[in-house]
Structures are given as C-alpha cells and as structure tokens.
Amino acid sequence: MAIGIQQQPQRCLPMHVFVSSRLLLVTALTVLLAAAAGCSDQRKNKGAAEVLTVFGNVDIREVQLAFQDAGRILNLAVDEGALVRTGQVVAELDPARYQLEVQRLSGEVAAQSRVLDRLHQGSRPQEVAIAKAGVSMARANLMDAEILLSRKQSLLLTNRISQQEIDSAQTKVQTSLAALKSAEEGVSVVVEGPRKEDIAAAEATLTALQATKELAEKRLADTKLLAPADGVIRNRILEPGAMVAAGTAVLTLALTNPLWVRAYISEPDLGKVREGMLAELRTDTHPDKVYKGWVGFISSTAEFTPKTVESTELRTKLVYRARIIVCDSQQELRLGMPVTVTVNTKQDQSVKASCSD
C-alpha cells in the first residue's frame, strides 16, 4: 500500500502588495530628490538675490565754451576729438585792442598816483617861504598906510588937507590890514597842507582807476579761452577769423572727469542699494574687462524708464535714477556707451571707494 505525501501549496503575496511597496519607494525617492533640488534652488536664488544688475549709459555732460567779450578769433588750438586738461588754452581772440586799453589805464593810474603822493607830502619849503614873504610885504604896506594916515591927520589940524584925503588914507589902512590877515591865513594853509577831504577824494579816484585797470587786464587775459575741466572736444563750432559776440559758443566740451554712468534702479530693488556701494561695470566692447566704480547718487524722485535704457524690465515701470562713478584710467569708455552695472548688495558698508585703490 503506497503512502502518498501531501504537498502544502506555496503561499505567495498578493500582487497589489508588491505594487504598493514599489509606489511607496518611488514616492520617497521623489520627495528626497525634490527636497534636494529645492535646497539647491534656494541657495542659488539666495546667491542671485545678493547681486543687483542694472543697465545704463555713460553719461554725456557738455559745456559750451565761449569768450566773455567780443572779438575776432585769432587761433583755435584744438580739434574735434582732442583730449584737453583743466586750464589748457583751447582758443584765443585777437588781443590788440585789449592791450591798448590796459596801457591807457596804466598811464592814468600812474598820473593819479603822483597826484596823491603830492597831496600826502604837503607843501614844499619854497611854497611856505613864498607865503611868509607875502605876509611880510602885507605888513610893510600896512605900516606905510598907517604912517601916511598919521601925516595927513596932522595936516588936517592946520586945514592944509581936505577931509577926502583923510578918508582915502584911512581906507588904504583898512585895505592893507585886510591884505595882511589874508597873507597870514595863506601861510597857515600852506603850512598845514592839503585838506583831508581832498586826499580822500584823490585816493578814491585812484582806487577806481586801479579797479578799471584790473578789469581791463582780466579782459585781456580772457582773450585766451581755457578748458574749465578735463574732457573731450565734441564740436568745433567756429573757425579762426570769425567775429564772435560775448557768450557765443566756439567749442563744445564733453566732461570726462569724473566719468559717470546714468543707470536706473527699479522700485522693488531701491532698498537694496545705497550711496557708496562698490559696483562693477561691463561693456559689449570689452566684455571680459571689469571696470571699478561705486554708487555716487540715487535720486529721491521716481520717473519712467527712458527709452534709451537697454533694460529687460517693462518700459512703464517706475525707476529711480542713479549715478555710478567709474574709474577709467585708459580712456576706453566713450560717452553714451551702454553698460551693465552689477552691485553686490551684501557688501561691507565700511568700504570706501576710490579710483586710487
């Protein structure tokens, strides 16, 4: 009799259990990857948020160079595109008329100076001596008149002279006495010298002439037109030989020192930037070169973005104008050139910017 062995059936897990386990594993891995990616993006966004990028152009600031007086242009020392320094002569008027005016006034000042010296020195000894001699003469005339009157009065007692002759003698005495007093006062005037008022008037006249002479000398010096600042000659408006009136522009000077970049900061980023922050500037002309600069000014009023600004922001978005001062010792940045400005908004506030660093 054969004994049969009964096999137990193999027990397997249901299919839905395997599917659920795999789904859980995939979900867990997905969550971990998402968390890792989120942390990475957060760090990336945080780093990107510390750097603010704005767009602008090298600012064009111009000065119209003109003479202060009229005249004929004698010489133009520069041409368009020339680099000039502060105080450099760029043009000159014919100085002949102004030189003659200075010479004339120099003579008047010299003459008035001699007049004032004479008043300060007072009367000469010879003048005093002449005045005293006049007194002596007047005194002698008086004595002669008095003697003559005395003689005629004695003759009147014997009726040998008329009363009319006596009256004439008395008049001559009075006249001589008045002449003596006048001569004595004349000596006092000569000895005392000129009046203080006359000296003051002469001094005032000399001061006025000296001021007029200085003005003429200044006008002569102004026949040479000097550059008021460092810059580049943009326009040569007139040529030598042309007659110009006072204030007529002869040259146009574009200022380059300091060199500014006009940029615009959007309103959401306004609180991240402050004056004095260091900045880096790049251009399309030299894309690999970084120019150093710093924020020099931020406007307190909002405006609409100008059409010339190459920004990716919407044109109608309010922005605040900022001035970025740039260090460009090689003179590579041209006026009006578009630039990209980046500012690290987390930089140390104690850092002081300077082109000499």
**Using CA atoms in the order 301, 305, 307, 313, what is the torsion angle rounded to 10 degrees?**
170
Instruction: Pick the closest to residue 234 from 107, 81, 344, 109 (CA basis).
Output: 81
Kindly compute the dihedral angle of the four CA atoms of residues 6, 7, 8, 10, in this order, to the nearest 10 degrees: -160
Within this chain, do residues 90 and 231 fall inside the same structural domain, yes or no? yes
Instruction: Please state, rounded to an integer, the average pLDDT across all residues of the chain.
Output: 82
Same-domain status, 116 and 189: yes
Say which CATH number the domain at 226 has. 2.40.50.100
Instruction: Tell me, yes or no, whether 33 lies in a domain.
Output: no
- Per the domain annotation, does 229 fall within a domain? yes
pTM of the model: 0.61
User: Cβ contacts of residue 258 below 8 Å, gap of 6+?
Assistant: 296, 325, 326
Report whether pLDDT(1) > 80.
Answer: no
Phi-psi region of 276 (alpha: psi -120 to 50; beta: other; left: phi over 0): left
In a domain, 40, yes or no: no
| 287 and 315 inside one domain | yes
Identify the band that residue 334 occupies on the pLDDT scale cut at 50, 70 and 90: confident
Q: Write the pLDDT tens digit of every residue in 57-105.
A: 998 789 999 999 999 999 999 999 899 999 999 999 999 999 999 999 9
Q: Cα 353 to the chain's mean position, in Å?
A: 25
Looking at the structure, tell me whether residues 225 and 329 fall in a common domain: no
Q: Is 314 part of a structural domain of the chain?
A: yes
> 85 with 165, same domain?
no
- Structural domain containing residue 307: 51-60+255-344
Which tens digit of pLDDT belongs to each residue from 251-304? 999 988 788 899 988 888 888 888 889 999 999 988 889 999 999 999 888 776
Could you say which of 190, 218, 246 is where a domain stops? 218
pLDDT at residue 44 is higher than 90: no
Q: Which residues contact 267 (CB under 8 A, 6 or more apart)?
A: 302, 317, 318, 319, 320
Q: What is the CATH number of the domain that holds 189?
A: 1.10.287.470
Model confidence band, residue 24 (pLDDT cutoffs 50, 70, 90): low
Flag the least confident range among 30-34, 245-249, 315-319, 339-343. 30-34
Pick 127 or 11 by higher pLDDT. Answer: 127
Indicate if 236 and 178 belong to the same structural domain: no
66 lies in some domain: yes
The dihedral region occupied by 247, where left means phi > 0, alpha psi between -120 and 50, and beta the remainder, is left
Give residue 9's pLDDT band: very low, low, confident or very high (50, 70, 90). very low
| Of residues 160 and 35, more confidently modeled | 160
**Once rounded to an integer, what is the mean pLDDT over residues 29-48?**
52
Does residue 128 have a pLDDT over 90?
no
Residue 70 has phi, psi (to 5 degrees) of -80, 160
What CA–CA distance (Å, rounded) separates 298 from 340? 17
Q: Is residue 24 part of a domain?
A: no
- Same domain flag for 109 and 202: yes
Tell me the per-residue pLDDT of 165-180, one tens digit each, with 9 for 90 and over.
888 888 988 998 999 8
Q: What is the pLDDT of residue 259?
A: 85
pLDDT above 90: residue 210: yes
Q: Is the pLDDT of residue 161 over 90?
A: no
Q: At residue 27, does pLDDT exceed 80?
A: no
Give the end of a domain, one of 206, 239, 254.
254
Whether 266 and 329 map to the same domain: the answer is: yes
Mean pLDDT of 3-27: 49
Predicted pLDDT at 356: 66
Indicate whether 50 pLDDT > 80. Answer: yes
Structure confidence at residue 207 (pLDDT): 96
Same domain, 194 and 263: no
Domain count for the chain: 3
Q: Residue 7's pLDDT band (boundaries 50, 70, 90)? A: very low
Out of 230, 254, 278, a domain closes at 254
- The dihedral built from the CA positions of residue 19, 23, 26 and 29, taken in this order, carries a sign that is negative
Residue 79 burial (CB < 10 Å; 0-12/13-18/19+)?
exposed
Q: Are residues 130 and 205 in the same domain?
A: yes
Q: pLDDT-based confidence at 31, cuts 50/70/90?
A: low
For residue 231, is pLDDT > 60?
yes
Same-domain status, 241 and 266: no
Rounded to whole angstroms, the Cα distance separating 193 from 202 reads 14
The torsion region of residue 336 among left (phi > 0), alpha (psi -120 to 50) and beta comes to left
Residue 156 lies inside a defined structural domain of this protein: yes
Q: For 110-122, how does the pLDDT look when each residue is reduced to its tens digit (9 = 90+)?
A: 999 999 998 888 8
As a whole number, mean pLDDT of residues 318-346 equals 87
154 Cβ contact list (under 8 Å, min separation 6): none
| 259 shares its domain with 240 | no
Task: Please determine, for residue 242, whether its predicted confidence score (pLDDT) is greater than 60.
Answer: yes
Burial class (CB in 10 A: 0-12, 13-18, 19+), 107: exposed
Does some domain include residue 45? no
pLDDT value, residue 34: 55
